[in-house]
Amino acid sequence: MAAQVKPSVSPKTGEVDDGSLIGVLKAYDNMRKKNLLCDVVLEVQGRLFPAHRLALAAGSHFFFLMFTTGMKEATPGQVELKEVEPDIVEQLIDYIYTQRISLNERNVQSMILAADRFLMDPVKRACEKFLKEKLNASNCLGLSILAELSNSPELAAFTEKYVLRCFSQVIKSNEFLELDVTRLTSLLRKDEVDSSCTRSSCSFGGRQNAAVVYCDGVVYILGGSSLAGPMKSISCYSIQQDYRFLKPGLPTPCDSLAACVTHGNIYVSGGVTKEDGRILHHLHCFNTKTNSWQTQPNMLTARCCHGSVELNGLVY
């Protein structure tokens, strides 16, 4: 008479807990390592990783779609994966077969990008948790960019709150110095930055629709508007010295203007005036060395809420 095995059942979840699933995973993993019954090979930068389609499809929705929707990449027995590191793919395959992943500061950024690409949410969540625990003033800006690249809205929100809360420390980091103008402008325009900086000497005062540029270690915030209307003032912040100061104001109070930097000069264009709400076609140049303004030829078209950039000696 054959003996009947009675697996235990969890009273909380109702799930069968007899270790059989672990045993199946171990069996699959042993076969993979011995290249037994493998029906697909992943090629990454010349390295080959034999595997089972069923296991890959179960552990990654990316591979599930590849193997079940007739994608041409899945037709041959060998699938080439580009723009990903071999070691990262190896660890992800190991996770699919063992449900274990090893994260560290050297691999976590590549891992979260790969987990997002291969639609492996458990690995992605583990990476997000690891990055949150390692967040500090010196890496939060870089992690906020990583959150965007890896489509991790929860991590993005977490890093943004940290940046705004600890802005007085963040602005002293190397990452802040390397921010592009678009990100710098977006960050400094947030109301939360102003309130979080009132405890330090970097407070810029409440204003909206200002132009923000970075030149020779100094952040310039030009014009903008307060409750009283468009402003003329230029607030400056020296990152290295942690010091706030003012520069000679704009020729005309305005907001919704644009500014760009070239060779120590700040070119300011357009905007909306305080007096009659008129849109300007002015172009002015501020020399940061002599603290003087020069009027340039007017733009052909008056404009506001626009952007500007210098390229090869021309302002666009």
The residue among 86, 110, 137 that closes a domain is 137
Q: How much is the pLDDT for 182?
A: 72
Phi first, then psi, for residue 51 (nearest 5°) are -160, 180
Alpha carbon distances (Å) from 198 to 148, 165, 184, 223? 28, 11, 19, 20
Does the CA dihedral 155-158-161-166 come out positive or negative? negative
**Rg for the chain, CA atoms, rounded:** 28
Residue 119 sits in the same domain as residue 225: no
User: Residue 190 and residue 187: Cα distance in Å, rounded?
Assistant: 6
Residue at 147 is within a domain? no
Q: What range does the domain containing 121 cover?
A: 20-137
* Rounded CA separation 234/224 (Å): 9
Residue reference for tokens 């409750």 = 227
Asked whether residue 45 is domain-assigned, the answer is yes
The amino acid present at 185, given as its one-letter code, is: T
Low-confidence ranges of the chain (pLDDT < 50): 1-10, 12-16, 194-203
Q: Is residue 162 part of a domain?
A: no
Boundary of a domain, candidates 137, 154, 181? 137
3-class secondary-structure state, position 2: coil
Q: Answer yes or no: is 13 within a domain.
A: no
Q: Please write the tens of the pLDDT for every residue from 298-308.
A: 999 999 889 88
First to last CA, the chain: 88
Residues 46 and 125 in one domain: yes
Model pTM greater than 0.85?
Answer: no
Residues in the chain: 316
233: Cβ contacts below 8 Å, ≥ 6 apart? 223, 246, 249, 250
- How many domains, the chain? 2
Return the pLDDT at 73.
66
Domain end call among 96, 120, 137: 137
Residue 104 resides in a domain: yes
Instruction: Tell me the β-bridge partners of 235.
Output: 221, 246
74: in domain: yes
CATH number at residue 220: 2.120.10.80
pLDDT for the residue 171:
80
pLDDT at 275: 66
Q: What would the pLDDT profile of 111-147 be if each residue is shown by its tens digit? A: 999 999 999 999 999 999 999 999 999 999 999 999 9
Judge if 212 and 306 occupy the same domain. yes
**CATH code: domain of residue 37:** 3.30.710.10
C-alpha distances (whole Å) from 313 to each of 175, 263, 281 are 27, 9, 20
**DSSP three-state, residue 95:** helix
Q: Return the pLDDT at 145.
A: 93
Res 53: pLDDT: 92
Q: Is residue 158 part of a domain?
A: no
In a domain, 57, yes or no: yes
